[in-house]
Amino acid sequence: MDYKDLIASNLSECTGLDKDQISGLIEIPPKLEMGDFAFPCFVLAKTLHKAPPMIANELKENPELVKGFDGAVTVDCAGPYINFKIDKGILAKTVVSEIVSEGDQYGNRNIGEGKNVIIEFSSPNIAKPFHVGHAFTTILGNSLSNIYTRLGYNVIRFNHLGDYGTQFGKLITAYRLWGDEKAMQENPIDELTRIYVKFHDECKVSPEAEKELEDSARDNFRKLEEGEEEEVALWKRFRDLSLEVFEKTYKRMGIKFDNYNGESFYSSRIPAVVEMLESKGLLEESEGAKVVKLDDEGLPPCLVVKSDGTTIYASRDLAAVLYRHEEFNFYKNIYVVGLPQQLHFKQVFAVLKKAGYDFADDCVHVGFGLLKFKDNTAFSTRAGNIIKLDDFLDKTTEKTAEIIRKNSELRGGDMTDEQIAEVSEVVGLGAVTYTYLKAGREKDIFFDWDDMLDFEGDTAPYLIYTYARIKSILRKADETGVAGGSIDSAAKLTAEDEYAVIRSLADFKDAVVKAAESYEPFMISRQIALIARNFNRFYNNSRILNVDDDEVRTARLKLCEAVAFCLKSGLDMLGIGVVEKM
Ligand code: ARG
């Protein structure tokens, strides 16, 4: 049973306010003893012409308020707040049985049924290394996709590959001049980066050399746009080889896409966009280029066609959003792209709006900050400051393995090399993922190995370790034949430590919805971190297997089970796996 929902319904009936509005206003009191839910009466003051404390005092006597609770709730007021306190035993039983029956799908809902949500994320540039910055969009976008899917939306995962633009003319020229076929097969991205850098170095040699190279590059890009066979074949090869490399990383991280339509896909649709903007009288000439002026919106003009007639990034995005709407009639179209591109998206959405497409309001730019390394010597970065994601993941899993091995040795060496490797991959990748997601997405991350791998800190290793510890208790219960028993026993979980765990488990469902609404997976990470901390406090203070009272033992084991399911569910929403033993 969803108590918050029932309270919102009852309050809505008593006050005439909209239920959703009430739901948004209901708070969780800062102290457990104050109750489970609180409703602030300020909103009613205007219509009722009374002071909020007076309203609260009168409202609390309304019998409609406790309808449907079968005596499981008491209502009280404190100043302007009405506090609802659910009977601890009943709450415990409700929450634990719900989780045990839903298992690791706890937190799912069907609020998104029948709605298409496009989530565009990752979108790396072909022929360039996949670096730690792309990891942010990849991890954040994957988590948001998981969360929306769990809420019942039909999620379509888009990877808007950066696979088009004048730089491909340069690459074709460079490849013909200096490309090394063997290197290309061994490590295509390194080789493509090498010749791209060489192109720019050679341009610096003399103005003549520069002119010759640039002319050739422009010519090659034009041929590519016109569909010349040889140029298209080369470009396609660069694209395929790069994608193969990216896909290895995606596979390692357990990330999938439904759609890889990159920028190139939309290039043929741009003339139609230009025509549409022209017919609506939105396109203006400016220094030979074509732009949409956005003065009224307080934005600089959006460049659609360059003075040399070639199209650019923004035009491809306009074509893309029209295509997405046509194909998927989206409820939301979400772009998980770094904050530096905020202006670009504002412009694209504003152009849509000006052109009369109201679905511009359903387009959302979900921006994020930067990853900064506290210790910049952690990597030797030859080419600029780029840290490749694969190197970062390798280094993390290596460091994780050292810790896992040491812990295993302390226990007398209870893990094989293979087990250590397997566990370190899950825990290491989890640690990286968690680091990206654990704070608000717009904040920069100051990355530090020790923080990230602290088994006692606010980290994935801590959460996965808590999960594994619970699984070991549950295995022991099985082995000693004390598992099973009635779920009704959960009504015994009313001691303070137990109640704290129950309360945080109950709040998990709301955290999931809030994470989706604000595009902030940290609302989930924060909640499961709280659950784990509450659980560990309970675990340190109470016996679980060695209690004489069968019913108490059963109740505590059920609580363990519920916590494990909820942690697994939350971690999975973030894109983090678990291990059964570590
Ligand atoms: N490829 C771009 C980059 O790496 C990101 C693409 C963002 N998505 C978009 N629809 N413009 O910076």
Q: What is the pLDDT along the chain (582 residues), one digit of tens a residue?
A: 788 899 999 999 999 999 999 999 999 888 888 889 999 999 999 888 999 999 999 999 999 999 988 888 999 999 999 999 999 999 999 999 999 999 999 999 999 999 999 999 999 999 888 988 889 999 999 999 999 999 999 999 999 999 998 889 999 999 999 999 999 999 999 999 999 999 999 999 999 999 999 999 999 998 998 899 999 999 999 999 999 999 999 999 999 999 999 999 998 899 999 999 999 999 999 988 999 999 999 999 999 998 877 778 899 999 999 999 999 999 999 999 999 999 999 999 999 999 999 999 999 999 999 888 776 555 544 445 678 899 999 999 999 999 999 999 999 999 999 999 999 999 999 999 999 999 999 998 888 889 999 999 999 999 999 999 999 999 999 999 999 999 999 999 999 999 999 999 999 999 999 999 999 999 999 999 999 999 999 999 999 999 999 999 999 999 999 999 999 999 999 999 999 998
**8 A C-beta contact, residue 13 and residue 28:** no
pLDDT at residue 409, rounded to an integer = 95
pLDDT at residue 395, rounded to an integer = 93
Rounded distance, CA 268 to CA 311, Å? 10
For ligand 1, atom 1: residue with the closest CA: 162
Rounded distance, CA 26 to CA 54, Å? 18
Dist. CA 151 → ligand 1 center (Å): 27
Rounded distance, CA 293 to CA 475, Å? 66
The helix/strand/coil state of 26 is coil
Rounded distance, CA 526 to CA 434, Å? 10
Dist. CA 248 → ligand 1 center (Å): 20
Cα dihedral: 404, 407, 408, 413 (round 10): 130
Dist. CA 159 → ligand 1 center (Å): 9
CA of 344, closest atom in ligand 1: 11
What sign does the CA torsion over 268, 270, 274, 277 have? positive
Dist. CA 266 → ligand 1 center (Å): 13
Question: Which tokens go with 554?
Answer: 């059963």
Rounded distance, CA 339 to CA 369, Å? 6
Q: How many CA within 13 A on the CB side of residue 500?
A: 16
Rounded distance, CA 460 to CA 430, Å? 6
Domain 389-574 grouped into CATH 1.10.274.10? no
The helix/strand/coil state of 258 is coil
CA of 313, closest atom in ligand 1: 11
Which of 337, 346, 347, 363 most suits a substitution to test ligand 1, by most atoms within 8 Å of the C-beta? 337
Rounded distance, CA 220 to CA 78, Å? 74
Which of 126, 160, 264, 318 most suits a substitution to test ligand 1, by most atoms within 8 Å of the C-beta? 160
**8 A C-beta contact, residue 293 and residue 284:** yes
CA of 345, closest atom in ligand 1: 11
CA distances (Å), 443 to each of 136, 183, 370, in order? 12, 39, 7
User: How far apart, in Å, do the first and last CA atoms of the chain sit?
Assistant: 35
Largest CA distance in the chain: 90
Residue type, position 251, single letter: K
pLDDT at residue 57, rounded to an integer = 93
Rounded distance, CA 269 to CA 325, Å? 14
Pocket of ligand 1 (CB under 6 A): 120, 123-125, 160, 162, 317, 335, 337
For ligand 1, atom 4: residue with the closest CA: 124
Domain with CATH 3.30.1360.70 in the chain: 3-86
Could you tell me where the DSSP H helices lie in 310-368?
313-328, 342-354
Dist. CA 558 → ligand 1 center (Å): 46
For ligand 1, atom 6: residue with the closest CA: 123
Dist. CA 378 → ligand 1 center (Å): 27
Question: Which tokens go with 167?
Answer: 């730089």
As separate numbers, helices (DSSP H) first and strands (DSSP E) second, the chain gives 22, 12
Dist. CA 409 → ligand 1 center (Å): 46
Question: Nearest 5°: CA angle at 214, between 165 and 309?
Answer: 50
pTM attached to this predicted model: 0.93
CA of 162, closest atom in ligand 1: 1
The string of DSSP codes covering 391-424 is HHHHHHHHHHHHHHHHHHHHTTS-S-HHHHHHHH
Dist. CA 224 → ligand 1 center (Å): 21
Task: List, as own/partner pairs, every contact residues 408-417 make where C-beta atoms lie below 8 angstroms and the sequence separation is at least 24, other chains included.
Answer: 415/581
Dist. CA 358 → ligand 1 center (Å): 23
Q: Which CATH fold topology does 3-86 show?
A: Gyrase A; domain 2 (3.30.1360)
For ligand 1, atom 5: residue with the closest CA: 123
Residue among 100, 112, 118 at smallest CA distance from 150: 112
Dist. CA 390 → ligand 1 center (Å): 20
Dist. CA 125 → ligand 1 center (Å): 8
Rounded distance, CA 437 to CA 9, Å? 34
Q: Which residues pair with 83 in a beta bridge?
A: 38, 76
Which of 265, 266, 315, 341 most suits a substitution to test ligand 1, by most atoms within 8 Å of the C-beta? 341
State the burial class of residue 43 (Cβ atoms within 10 Å of its Cβ: 0-12, 13-18, 19+). Answer: middle
pLDDT at residue 381, rounded to an integer = 44
Which of 119, 121, 123, 126 most suits a substitution to test ligand 1, by most atoms within 8 Å of the C-beta? 123
Dist. CA 232 → ligand 1 center (Å): 22
Residue among 11, 18, 4 at smallest CA distance from 64: 11
CA of 337, closest atom in ligand 1: 7
Q: How many CA within 13 A on the CB side of residue 283?
A: 17
Dist. CA 377 → ligand 1 center (Å): 29
Question: Which tokens go with 183?
Answer: 């290197």
Q: To which H or E segment does residue 175 belong?
A: helix 167-178
Cα radius of gyration rounded to whole Å, the chain: 28
pLDDT at residue 377, rounded to an integer = 57
The strand pair at 81-86 and 73-78 is best described as antiparallel
